[in-house]
Structure 1
Amino acid sequence: MSGAVVSSLPVCGSCGAVAAIGARFCEACGTDLPTPAGGQGATPPGEILAAPVPDPAGPVPVPVPEPVPCRECGGVVDADGYCTSCGAKAPRARDHVVEQPQAWVGAVSDRGIRHHRNEDALAVAASEAPGSHAVLVVCDGVSSSEDSDVASLAAARAALDTLAGPRAQGLDTSAGLVAVIGARLEAAADAASRAVAAATSHDHGDSPPSCTFVATVVERGRIVTGSVGDSRAYWLPDAGQARFLTTDDSWAAEQIAVGVPRDQAESGPQAHAITRWLGVDAPDHTPRITTMEVDGPGWLVVCSDGLWNYCSPADELGALVRRIAATVAGEPLATASALVDWANGQGGHDNITVVLARLGADPDSPLPRDQTGSSR
């Protein structure tokens, strides 16, 4: 580029990619870019560099990020994301995301095997005491829409910002607490919808950016969930009936509601056609709200369809989670990671996001065992 530079060009400190003026996220890895002075935004992870405006006295050199080594051969990854020596594509930070806000909550999002980018996003927060308070958000970008990865990330972060505000304190009744959290979830869906709209260009095509939305709040032994689309939340108790905490907004769910068997409805050609979503073309983004009280130990699972595609019924997913958890001593992050690996082992046809919270259990208590005495 020649001529005078009239404004700074943001350079992502995570992967070194140069972004367009005014961009909010790095298109290469999803990292937040710096917010202009006076603006609002989250502090980005890692250092963010910006090209300075030249001084009239002479040119000022643009800071150059450190070379990124290739994981395949040790060579240098160029700005286009490919190794200059062996040609391998470098993984992007968003290809595999791991978060653990507290020991009792674990979250993993993975690109999967078949997709070229991760269009899922998660956002989580939790208090230290197990089961006391947590906010778990998963958004899945609609693959047929434009910039679906940008939409899901913007929505998840906006929802968490809304839900992670001051907690509802001093409410004496369960009904009052649930009402407050339900209102918060509706406000979070509104904020997420606005964030998707803000990430949508004015000249968008027929399929503007869009995503699903599921957010769950754990508070004082209660689980309150809001959802739009077909990302899900499950309650999987150690003993008792596993249950869905969400109802899909999808063609398949409508078929199930009129009596079509689940396995048949969810394997049809329109199985993943959703009827509600977040986006400027969405007919309605008011979340469906459900609530339940935790009455014993179990797992809260919030996930995208990259997991439940391979294990949809609540009882079957419960058995899978218990079996996998037993292999990693019930540690939530290790269990979430193993579930992602399991889904990739089934084919990894979609992006996979799994968020787990271990609720209602003594941290030192053993995992449940079946009647033969072996861990399930």
Structure 2
Amino acid sequence: MTCPTCGATLAPGARFCENCGAQLGTAAVPAAATAPATATSDPLGDAPISAPTRKPAGALPDPPVPAGRRPCAECGGEVGPDLYCLSCGTKAPSERDHFQEQPASWVAGVCDKALMKNRNEDAMALLAGVEPGSRAVLIVMDGVSNSIDSDVASLAGARAAREVLRVPLPSGMGTPQGREAAVRKVLADAAAAANTAIVAVTDPDSPNPASATFTVAVLEGQRISWANIGDSRSYWLPDAGTPVQLTTDDSVAQAQIAEGIAREVAETGPQAHAITKWLGRDSEDFTPTVGSIEVTEPGWLLACSDGLWNYASEPEAMREQVRAAGTDDPAALALALVAFANASGGHDNITAAVARVGLGHNDQTPTPGGEPSDG
């Protein structure tokens, strides 16, 4: 297959041209190469992922595919197949450069290339139950920028991990220790699935194989469980209580902080974004650090890449940005956090995925005021 706009060779199943960014219709995909309906309906279906698992009863579905015309961000007109607005002529970003997911009214995420980057190596994959506060999965991965094909690998990894986490986390043998061990295994399995997907899309002869960070936060009722590899992060940001950075970075900066160096110094130093663990073919340890907490007040669960937390690292600073957004709509909040990071410099790809946590699953109203490098 070739792109009808620029003539470049296309990968089987491609939904946009890697060379010129033109969107491709389904007619460009040979019938023999057509994937199952669950994959072809995905606007980012060009990214390789592991074969879809059969979804058992109670498994959460994929986020719905946005329907209808694609509006122009500049004038509100319609974006054409070549990514140019039919009204004002402004070129829209490709779907890989900027995409959004909203699997339920109370969960949403935005993944954006950022102002200063040439491509988007961040990725996310979300799941959520319909009932607010019931169950949500937020996965964010940040492709290491000095590795090859990390944009493809991060998206493949995020979606592979999502498959593992479609069903509720196990309860173990009915004891706190049993549950902790069972949850730890499932979260480790999700990280392993992400690692396998990254390796699967990596050229065996690559001199610098694709790699990525990994963070996942799972909300089930009032319990949040998380896992982390690298320096993408998960935060718990209650409306009125003490905000918390749930994850601990695997990074040189974090090692310096542990040795007593001030956080603001370590996180702005020359090795601020040098990570000590990652996923990929050359990973020496892809076992995540895991943890869990019970929450007893309304607030926001946030998973993000360093393209966001670069500008609001402390939990209190991040909560201030949530409050500054002035909205209780998850999609609007995720967009506002990405806009904040871009307005602050936009030096790295930005991903923000949020879930609104309310008491009793019903209260969704926030209290007013209330050694590689991955970047």
Deviation track 1:30-73 (CA, whole Å, cap 9, x = no partner) reads 99988967988951236999xxxxxxxxxxxxxxxxxx999999
In structure 2, relative to structure 1, the CA distance for the partners of 1:41 and 1:16 (3 Å cut) is farther
Corresponding residue SS for 2:301: strand
| Number of the residue aligned with 1:367 | 366
CA distance in 2, matches of 1:351, 1:41: 30
Q: 1:92 aligns with which of 79, 94, 98?
A: 94
In structure 2, relative to structure 1, the CA distance for the partners of 1:175 and 1:126 (3 Å cut) is farther
Residues 1:233 and 2:234 aligned together:
yes
| Number of the residue aligned with 2:301 | 300
Alignment of 1:106-145 (within 5 A): 106-145=108-147
Residues 1:43 and 2:39 aligned together:
yes
* TM-score normalised by L of structure 2: 0.78
Q: 2:166 aligns with which of 164, 175, 180?
A: 164
- Residues 298, 366 of structure 2: 8 Å contact kept: no
- Give the AA of the match of 2:39: T
CA distance in 1, matches of 2:42, 2:234: 32
Deviation track 1:178-218 (CA, whole Å, cap 9, x = no partner) reads 4333211111111110100011112201x211111111111
CA distance in 1, matches of 2:72, 2:337: 28
| Number of the residue aligned with 2:222 | 221
| Number of the residue aligned with 2:344 | 346
Q: 1:358 aligns with which of 356, 359, 371?
A: 356
CA distance in 2, matches of 1:357, 1:47: 22
- Give the AA of the match of 1:359: V
* Percent of aligned pairs sharing the same letter: 49
Corresponding residue SS for 2:40: coil
| Number of the residue aligned with 1:331 | 329
- Residues 182, 224 of structure 1: 8 Å contact kept: no
> How many pairs does the alignment contain?
336
* RMSD, matched Cα: 3.7
- Give the AA of the match of 2:10: A
Residues 1:19 and 2:10 aligned together:
yes
- Residues 334, 352 of structure 2: 8 Å contact kept: yes
| Number of the residue aligned with 2:282 | 281
CA distance in 2, matches of 1:159, 1:41: 20
CA distance in 2, matches of 1:87, 1:193: 41
Alignment of 1:8-87 (within 5 A): 9=1, 18-20=9-11, 27=18, 43-45=39-41
Q: CA deviation at 1:146?
A: 0.5
Q: CA deviation at 1:277?
A: 0.5
In structure 2, relative to structure 1, the CA distance for the partners of 1:36 and 1:120 (3 Å cut) is farther
CA distance in 2, matches of 1:16, 1:96: 24
- Residues 297, 359 of structure 2: 8 Å contact kept: yes
In structure 2, relative to structure 1, the CA distance for the partners of 1:41 and 1:147 (3 Å cut) is farther
CA distance in 2, matches of 1:147, 1:132: 36
| Number of the residue aligned with 1:210 | 211
- Give the AA of the match of 1:356: V
- Residues 77, 90 of structure 1: 8 Å contact kept: no
| Number of the residue aligned with 1:265 | 266
CA distance in 1, matches of 2:288, 2:147: 21
Corresponding residue SS for 2:96: helix
CA distance in 1, matches of 2:136, 2:43: 28
Q: CA deviation at 1:156?
A: 0.4
In structure 2, relative to structure 1, the CA distance for the partners of 1:121 and 1:19 (3 Å cut) is same
CA distance in 2, matches of 1:184, 1:198: 21
CA distance in 1, matches of 2:180, 2:8: 44
- Residues 215, 233 of structure 2: 8 Å contact kept: yes
Q: CA deviation at 1:360?
A: 2.9
CA distance in 2, matches of 1:365, 1:149: 34
- Residues 111, 351 of structure 1: 8 Å contact kept: yes
| Number of the residue aligned with 1:154 | 156
Corresponding residue SS for 1:93: coil
- Residues 107, 355 of structure 2: 8 Å contact kept: yes
CA distance in 2, matches of 1:48, 1:231: 22
**Runs of 5+ in structure 2 lacking a partner?**
46-69, 371-375
| Number of the residue aligned with 1:253 | 254
CA distance in 2, matches of 1:251, 1:40: 43
Structure number with greater Rg is: 1
